[in-house]
Structure 1
Amino acid sequence: MVTADGRLREVSPGSDPDLFWAVRGGKDNFGIVVGMEIALFPVSRLYGGGLYFPADATADVLHAYAEWSRALPREMASSVLLARNPDLPMVPAPLRGRFVAHVRIAFSGAEGGAELVRPLREIGPAVMDTLRDMPYAEVGTIHHEPTDAPYQAYDRNVLLREIDKDAVDTLLTHAGPDAQPPFIAELRHFGGAYARPPEIPNCVGGRDADFSLFVGAPPALESRERRDRMPADLRPWGTGGMNLNFAGVEDIDPALVRTAYQPGDYLRLTELKAVHDPGNMFRINFNIPPEEDAGARVRP
């Protein structure tokens, strides 16, 4: 990576453990990454796809999903998208113009995927069922989202410790079909391997969350105001944090960025920022400002 002083540096656990820790989770606050060496996981196939339920099943889907997700192997990744599909030719005919609760599944275990999702299939008839064994190269088909046109949206997210009946009811009040929400909302299950401390430490936060709630709204002010009421009402179930991968252009305030990290990690990031980018050159981002006079406390 190239750091603010113009140096091309090789950053690894052996050569610079502090900077290596900061870059993995600190995003582009410490330099420009120009190359990576990445170890891959040997996953050739997975069981995945989607269950698309009609609007009148949304409450049953969310309550069943909250219960189902309590005891899953770490190989199971899942989420539920609540959205009204546009009435456009590129949308599959059964979904055009319809509000659906779209359960998304990616199970990378060796076998047993169909049995694991059986409780979800038993919720009731689905509008579409695309779950299947697939080569990992087709993992991008699971979300079934268009990729040929830009998508303009103002995103927000909140991390949740748990989802109980009251939390689901709150979510339905804002994002269910009866609310006619002017936004999309995705409840994503966390936990699993993400919840474990990494073998090589990094500063990625949010590992104490069981779920993330992502909301994407069109630019209109009224839509964004309605978007923000839902995270506010879900605060009793929140961790107080957010995930920067799902943050939007309105979340660049350093006070908001701070909530994406554990307090001790954020302090260490500001100290390392003071060492590697004291002038805050890399600031057009989710910025971590350098702490003043921190250089003496952190090894360059």
Structure 2
Amino acid sequence: MKSRDQFLDANGIDATLGTKRDPLHFRTIWISDVHLGTPGCQAQRLLEFLRATESDTLYLVGDIIDGWQLKRRWYWEQSHNNVVQTVLKKAKKGTNVVFVPGNHDEVIRQFIDLDFGGIKIRDELVHTTANGKRMLVIHGDRFDGVIACAKWLAYVGDNLYTMILKFNQWFNSWRARAGLPYWSLSQYLKGKVKNAVNYITSFEDALAAEASKKGLDGVICGHIHKPEIRDINGIKYCNDGDWVESLSALVEDASGELRLVTWGEIMQLKKSSKLAGVEDLCALPS
């Protein structure tokens, strides 16, 4: 397993990194749970991430557009539109873009197996890494007991989550003025509340079991907004996180290594490449 420094240095990314102004190149990028159409969506930071990176394949692993919230109240800033246009531009320029719809953009599931604007819409699929590992790519909501058995409860939970995010925005604006870093209340609660921890563990175990049943090496998903890579009974479980709080993505380098990266890391890497030169990128702190 490569260290973060090795993974993010010029050789670990790709020999095609080229000039200091070029985007950082990965073999594959997975993002999910963007929730365009909500005030909590960090669209501007995602836009910066997309402009700073390029990949052979880009997977959109569900909940890219939040249809649930848009039904209640229309919210669509220019930055949200810019994200959509940037993805379409990548597809036009040759990036293999695959959209795997989630529960919040489930209306798109009626177009499964069709292609629009160079974007392939698939229910689930198997991605083969450069080192031959076969990974199930799926949003994951179908393995969420709340979604499967009590959708009304999921709507209630979504409303509560939205309220927490609004509080987070107010609280973190105060922290920013005080010179303090971002702090996530919802992630804190997920880590501290026993039922939430059990829910996350059950979800992860269910996805790993599904990959095992299909004879695959691992699974890549989203849905629960918890970035994670870990081994579960010999299955590699990967969750790419979200673009509401974690600002994270899963990436694959040219050798097939998988790693979580954040918006902050990519911005730091791009800044380092401009100021210090490509040869000094491996000096980033771990």
With the length of structure 2 as denominator, give the TM-score of the two structures.
0.26
Find the structure with the greater CA-based Rg: 1
With the length of structure 1 as denominator, give the TM-score of the two structures.
0.25
Q: Which has the higher helix share?
A: 2
Work out which structure has the larger RCO, using CA pairs closer than 8 Å and 6 or more positions apart in sequence.
2
